C-alpha cells in the first residue's frame, strides 16, 4: 500500500470536484438563485468521502452501477447539507458528480501502484482543471456582454447578480437595446462605415502589397536586403508615436473626419506585415513555373495576375483576413481622427456612447455585441486562414 499517491489522489480529486461545484453554484447564482454560501469545507469533506469510497470499491462492481449509485448518493447528501435549491440546480449537481465518477472510474488501488502515478494524477487533474478554468475565464466576459444586452437598467441595478434572460416577455422587449441602438444611436450607419473601411483597407493593402512582395521575393535590385530587413523594424513602431504628427498634418489637410484618411492610415500601417507575409509565401513557389510564363511572353503584370496570385490564394486569404481584423478592431486612430458622429466607425461609436455617463449599460453592451459578433463569426468560420495570419503577424498586437 502506497500512501503518498493515495493521499495525492484524494486531495486533488476532492478539490477538483469541490471547485466544479463552486463554479456551478456561482453560475446558478447568476441566474437569479438566492444562494449565499459556498460551503467549501463541508463540500470538500463530502467530495473526499466520495473519492475515498470510489477508490476502495475500484472495479469490484459493475461500472455503470457504480457511477449511478455513487452520483446519486453524493447528490442526495449534497442537497441535505446545502441550502435548498430548485430541481434544475440539483440535477446540475448530479450531472457534475456523474462526470466526476466516470472520470475517476479507472482509479483503483492497483492503479495507484504504477510508476510515477502521483505525477500522472496531478497532471490529469491539472489539465482537467485547466480546461474548466480557461473556458470559464475566457468565456465569462463574452457571456456577460451578451446577457447584459438583453437586460434593463432597472433590473441590473436592483440585482446585479440576476443575469437570467426572461424570454416569456415579448421579443420586442427582450431585444429592446438592439432596436434602440439602431434607431436612436444610428448603429446601422456605423456598421456600414466600419465595413467600408475594413474591406477598403483589405483591398488597397493587397493592391499595394502583392506587387511589392513579388519584387522583394523574386527580383534583384539595389537595396533589396536593406528593404527586406527594415520591413519588420518599421512594423514594430507603434501607432501611438505616429499619432501626433499625423493628427496635425491631417488637420491641416482636412483629412480628419474622413473615411479616406482612415483608409490611408490603416493601409500604411498594415502594409509592412502584409508584404512580409506574402513575400515569404511567394518565395516558396517554384521559380520554374514563372520561367514557363516568361517564355510564353508574359510581363511581370501577367506573371503576377496569372501565376502568382492563383498559386498563393491561401496566403492572400490569410493576409486579407488578418488585415480585416486589424482594421475592424482598430481604435486609436479612429479615436483621434473622428469626432463627427457622421463618420464614426463602430469602435469609435461605442467609445462615444460611454462619453455620456447616462447611457444605460445594456445599450453599451448591445453595441459591443454588434462589433464583436461579426469578427468572432469570421474567425470561427475561417479559423485556419486567420490563425496562420495571426502567427505571422503576431510580432505586433
Partner 1 sequence: MTDTLSKIEKRTAYTLLLPAVFLVFAIVLFPIFANIWISFKEVQLKDIRIPEPRAKKIVKSISEDKTKLKIVYRLRNSSLIEDINNIEFLDKLPKNIEPVNLDPRCTFKSKKIKCDFGNWKAEYKENFEIVIRNINNDEIDKNIIKSQKPRLSGDADNILLTTKFTFKNFKQVFNENEFLDLLLTTFYFTFFGTVGAIIFGVFAAQLVNQKFYGRTFMRSILLFPYVGPVVALAYTWTLLLDPNSGTLNAILVNFGIIDKPINLLGQKYLTLNLLGFDIKLRLALTTVIMFEIWRYFPLAFLFILARLQAIPKDLYEAAEVDGAGPLRKFINITLPQITAILSILFMIRFIWNFNKFEDIFLLTGGASGTRTLPINVYQQGFAISNIGMGSAVSIVIVMLLIIFMIIYFKLIGKRANEV
* H runs (alpha helix) in the chain: 3-29, 40-57, 63-81, 87-103, 117-148, 153-158, 171-174, 176-183, 187-218, 224-235, 243-253, 259-283, 287-295, 300-303, 309-311, 313-329, 332-337, 346-355, 361-381, 383-393
Question: Does 30 sit near partner 1 (CB under 8 A)?
Answer: yes
57, exposed or middle or buried, with CB in 10 Å at 0-12, 13-18, 19+?
Answer: middle
Given the complex with partner 1, which of 13 and 269 has the nearer CB atom? 269
User: Binder to partner 1 among 148, 198, 318, 343 (CB under 8 A)?
Assistant: 148
Indicate left, alpha or beta for 49 from its phi (over 0: left) and psi (-120 to 50: alpha).
Answer: alpha
Residue ranges in 348-377 that form contacts with partner 1 under rule CB under 8 A: 350-351, 354, 361, 364-365, 367-369, 371-372, 375-376
* Closest of 193, 212, 200, 228 to residue 271, by C-alpha: 212
Considering the rule CB under 8 A, would residue 111 count as an interface residue with partner 1?
no
Name the 3-class secondary structure at 153: helix
**Nearer to partner 1 by C-beta: 64 or 135?**
135
Strand (E) or helix (H) holding 358: none
Dihedral (CA of 35, 36, 40, 44) sign:
negative
Q: Does 101 bind partner 1 (CB under 8 A)?
A: no
What would the x/- binding string for partner 1 be over residues 156 to 175, using CB under 8 A? xx--xx-x------------
Sites for partner 1 among residues 184-223 (CB under 8 A): 208-209, 211-212, 214-216, 219-222
Residue 42 near partner 1 by CB under 8 A: no
Range in contact with partner 1 (rule: CB under 8 A) among 5-13, 50-58, 71-79, 242-250: 242-250
> Whole-number minimum distance, CB 170 to partner 1, in Å?
26
Residue 125 C-beta: closest distance to partner 1, Å:
12
Evaluated on CA atoms 333, 334, 337, 339, the torsion sign reads negative
- 243 lies in the site for partner 1, by CB under 8 A: yes
Closest contact distance (angstroms) between CB of 2 and partner 1 is 15
Positions 303 through 342 that interact with partner 1 (CB under 8 A): 325, 328-329, 331-332, 336
- Among positions 273-302, residues that touch partner 1 (CB under 8 A) are 275, 300
Question: According to the binding rule CB under 8 A, does residue 81 interact with partner 1?
Answer: no
| # chain residues binding partner 1, by CB under 8 A | 102
With beta carbons less than 8 A apart as the criterion, state whether 50 and 70 touch. yes
Question: Do residues 34 and 17 touch, judged by C-beta distance below 8 A?
Answer: no
Does the footprint of partner 1 cover residue 88 (CB under 8 A)?
no
Amino acid at each position: 500500500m502506497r500512501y503518498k499517491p493515495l493521499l495525492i489522489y484524494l486531495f486533488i480529486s476532492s478539490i477538483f470536484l469541490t471547485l466544479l461545484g463552486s463554479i456551478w453554484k456561482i453560475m446558478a447564482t447568476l441566474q437569479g438563485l438566492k444562494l449565499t454560501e459556498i460551503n467549501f469545507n463541508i463540500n470538500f469533506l463530502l467530495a473526499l468521502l466520495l473519492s475515498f469510497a470510489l477508490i476502495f470499491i475500484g472495479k469490484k462492481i459493475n461500472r455503470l452501477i457504480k457511477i449511478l449509485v455513487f452520483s446519486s448518493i453524493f447528490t442526495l447528501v449534497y442537497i441535505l447539507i446545502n441550502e435548498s435549491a430548485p430541481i434544475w440546480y440539483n440535477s446540475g449537481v448530479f450531472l457534475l458528480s456523474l462526470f466526476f465518477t466516470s472520470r475517476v472510474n479507472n482509479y483503483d488501488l492497483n492503479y495507484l501502484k504504477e510508476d510515477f502515478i502521483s505525477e500522472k494524477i496531478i497532471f490529469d487533474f491539472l489539465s482537467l482543471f485547466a480546461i474548466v478554468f480557461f473556458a470559464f475565464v475566457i468565456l465569462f466576459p463574452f457571456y456577460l456582454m451578451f446577457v447584459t444586452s438583453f437586460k434593463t437598467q432597472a433590473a441590473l441595478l436592483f440585482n446585479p447578480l440576476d443575469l437570467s434572460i426572461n424570454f416569456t416577455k415579448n421579443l420586442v422587449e427582450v431585444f429592446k437595446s438592439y432596436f434602440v441602438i439602431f434607431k436612436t444611436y444610428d448603429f446601422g450607419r456605423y456598421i456600414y462605415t466600419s465595413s467600408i473601411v475594413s474591406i477598403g483597407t483589405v483591398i488597397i493593402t493587397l493592391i499595394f502589397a502583392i506587387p511589392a512582395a513579388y519584387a522583394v521575393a523574386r527580383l534583384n535590385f539595389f537595396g533589396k536586403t536593406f528593404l527586406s530587413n527594415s520591413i519588420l523594424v518599421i512594423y514594430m513602431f507603434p501607432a501611438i508615436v505616429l499619432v501626433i504628427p499625423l493628427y496635425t498634418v491631417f488637420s491641416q489637410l482636412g483629412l480628419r473626419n474622413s473615411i479616406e484618411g482612415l483608409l490611408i492610415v490603416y493601409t500604411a500601417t498594415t502594409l509592412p506585415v502584409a508584404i512580409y507575409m506574402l513575400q515569404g509565401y511567394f518565395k516558396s513557389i517554384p521559380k520554374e513555373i514563372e520561367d514557363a510564363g516568361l517564355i510564353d511572353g508574359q510581363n511581370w503584370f501577367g506573371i503576377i495576375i496569372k501565376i502568382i496570385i492563383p498559386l498563393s490564394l491561401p496566403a492572400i486569404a490569410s493576409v486579407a483576413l488578418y488585415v480585416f481584423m486589424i482594421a475592424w478592431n482598430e481604435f486609436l486612430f479612429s479615436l483621434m481622427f473622428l469626432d463627427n458622429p457622421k463618420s464614426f466607425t463602430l469602435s469609435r461609436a461605442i467609445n462615444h456612447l460611454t462619453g455620456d455617463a447616462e447611457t444605460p449599460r445594456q445599450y453599451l453592451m448591445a453595441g459591443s455585441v454588434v462589433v464583436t459578433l461579426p469578427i468572432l463569426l469570421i474567425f470561427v468560420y475561417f479559423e485556419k486562414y486567420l490563425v496562420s495570419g495571426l502567427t505571422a503577424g503576431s510580432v505586433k498586437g
